[in-house]
């Protein structure tokens, strides 16, 4: 009888521990990480493309507000966000453009889907998205639905999946049907 009660208590405790894995729990865990770097491979499909566009490179972030996506193949392109400024570079063409994110709210919201998630910044995510977390600590998906009607004209849904505090995939469904899937592999120093 004592064993049975202990087993039931263990099952009840395990169930309540599982139930406590929420979007807030995930974001608090992500907020503990000061920086990171991942290799990525990305596939974009579009009605405008004859075949999917595949690219790869590195994704770096550092608290509080730095994010860099450095595409290395099939061409070099660097997108850097620091604070409220975004810089796009295409070194081979000797092109560089800088803009204030506040002047482009849709781009700002899109950038924050990744930057705020990596930083564990729930307040910023809630500014741009309705959030839902599916799964558990080992395998989760953070579903982001644009809360702004202007942004919803471009982005239908963003799904960021991972395990514990490691992001593994970022899937973006655009309102017009185009899609991208980025697979991440964290680099350890």
What was the pLDDT predicted at 64?
87
Residue tagged 């579009």 (tokens): 46
Would you give the end-to-end CA distance of the chain in angstroms? Answer: 51
pLDDT value of residue 13: 46
For residue 186, list its beta bridge partners: 38
Confidence of residue 9 (pLDDT cuts 50, 70, 90): very low
Domain extents for the chain? 22-186
- The continuous run of DSSP H or E covering 28 comes out as helix 23-31
Give residue-wise pLDDT tens across range 40-51: 999 999 999 999
The pLDDT, as a whole number, for residue 16 is 44
User: Which position has the higher pLDDT, 168 or 18?
Assistant: 168
Burial 129-156 (b: 16+ CB within 10 A, else e): bebebeeebeebebbbebeeeebeebbb
pLDDT, tens only, 71-129: 999 999 999 999 999 999 999 999 999 999 999 988 999 999 999 999 999 999 999 99
Predicted local confidence at residue 188, as pLDDT: 74
Write the DSSP string, 138-183.
SSEEEEEEE-SHHHHTTEEEEEEEEETTEEEEEEEEETTS-EEEEE
Mean pLDDT computed over every residue of the chain: 89
Contact 159, 171 (CB under 8 A): yes
CATH architecture of the domain with residue range 22-186: Clam (2.50)
Stated pTM of the model: 0.86
CA–CA gap between residue 113 and residue 60 (Å, rounded) = 15
- pLDDT category at 189 given cuts 50, 70, 90 is low
> Is the pLDDT at 18 greater than 80, yes or no?
no
Please state the rounded mean pLDDT for residues 50-77. 96
What pLDDT digit, counting tens, does each position of 123-134 carry? Answer: 999 999 999 999
> Which of 170 and 33 is assigned the larger pLDDT?
170
CA distance readout (Å), 56 to 70, 72, 76, 124, 175 = 8, 6, 10, 27, 24
pLDDT at 12 over 60: no
């Amino acid at each position: 009888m004592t064993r049975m009660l202990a087993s039931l208590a263990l099952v009840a405790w395990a169930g309540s521990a599982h139930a406590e894995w929420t979007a807030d729990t995930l974001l608090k865990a992500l907020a503990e990480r000061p920086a990171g770097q991942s290799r990525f491979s990305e596939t974009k499909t579009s009605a405008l493309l004859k075949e999917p566009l595949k690219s790869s490179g590195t994704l770096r972030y550092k608290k509080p507000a730095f994010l860099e996506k450095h595409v290395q193949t099939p061409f070099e392109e660097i997108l850097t966000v620091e604070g409220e400024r975004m810089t796009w570079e295409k070194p081979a063409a000797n092109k560089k453009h800088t803009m204030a994110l506040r002047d482009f709210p849709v781009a700002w919201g899109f950038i924050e889907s990744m930057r705020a998630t990596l930083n564990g910044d729930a307040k910023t995510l809630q500014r741009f998205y309705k959030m839902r977390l599916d799964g558990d600590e080992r395998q989760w998906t953070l579903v982001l639905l644009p809360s702004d009607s202007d942004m919803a004209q471009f982005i239908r849904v963003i799904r960021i999946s991972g395990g514990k505090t490691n992001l593994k995939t970022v899937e973006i469904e655009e309102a017009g049907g185009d899609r991208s899937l980025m697979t991440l592999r964290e680099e350890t120093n």
